[in-house]
Amino acid sequence: NSQRNSGEVKKPRPARTLTLTVLTTLILYGVAFAIGATSINLGLDLRGGTSVTLQPRLQSGQSGEITGESIDQAVSIIRQRVNSLGVAESEVAAQGSGTNRQIVISVPGDISSAAFMIILALISKNSKVIIKNVLLNPTRTGILDVLKKMKAKIKIKNKKTICGELVGDIEAKSSNLKAAVVPEKIAPRLIDEYPILFIAACFAKGTSQFKGIEELRVKESDRIQSMELGLKPLGVKISSTKNSVKITGTNSFKLNKKIKIDAKGDHRIAMSFYILSQVLNKPFKIKDFNYVKTSFPSFTKTINKLKKN
């Protein structure tokens, strides 16, 4: 019942008040949690994960105190809510003591989103980016292993454990990439990062080979075909079979006409070609670019802030 009798005296309910405040905060940060939202500091410091600190307090006009029991109850409720959203590797915990006790919610960033900014820095001149609080689960870090094999200047700093998962800051600097052979066995660890990895291969010296990637044929689009159709008109030497791709790096892109890319409703294709357009300083007309909003709403805004610095 939303109505309240003005003559009725209600006892303060700190736990309920705290819960309502927390849930409001979760709604505001919900999208950020789901995608590993980013923020920029000086254009060089990208926050891959999200950490929110909540200070418990009573509503205006209420009396009483917030007990340790009520905070523990709020932590339990928040944890259930976050888990129900399907937010992986999140940690919800109380820290501090007495009246200074706070609730901290930490969610590591997704490396598949970070990969775009990492490769943007690697293939741009005089560039450096640090992406903080990125999940470093070995099942997801194939992209880092391949880039290091390609002689990328990448460092992992400030490693720590959140909810049993390794998290750290990724530093990437402009690099003279070398071609590499990427075997089938590593494909499951970077299957979503291949499109942007193909862009990196365009700037590597030599011919890169990517094997055992038939799964790319049945993603949101046929990603092998989409990348091939987009890169060939730009003068990139690229060829494919049913389950492999070869790309020879170049420093001579064909940019003498309007460039149109059909992302075929695939956000990773759209994002990959947008990164290429920024490095080449050439506007691309990318069909279905709006699909990027579903996975990385602040994608272009993040890149524009980085470019300013």
Q: How many CA atoms lie within 13 A of 180 on its CB side?
A: 20
CA 29 – CA 12 distance, rounded (Å): 27
CA 270 – CA 196 distance, rounded (Å): 10
The single-letter code of the amino acid at 278 is Q
User: How many residues would you count in the chain?
Assistant: 309
Tokens 């609080």 locate to 133
CA 273 – CA 279 distance, rounded (Å): 10
- Choosing from 192, 222, 266, 288, the catalytic residue is 192
**29 closest CA partner among 93, 114, 104, 95:** 104
- Using CB atoms within 10 Å of the CB of residue 263, give its burial: 0 to 12 exposed, 13 to 18 middle, 19+ buried: buried
Whether 45 is catalytic: no
Residue 162 pairs in a beta bridge with: 165
Residues marked active site are found at: 192
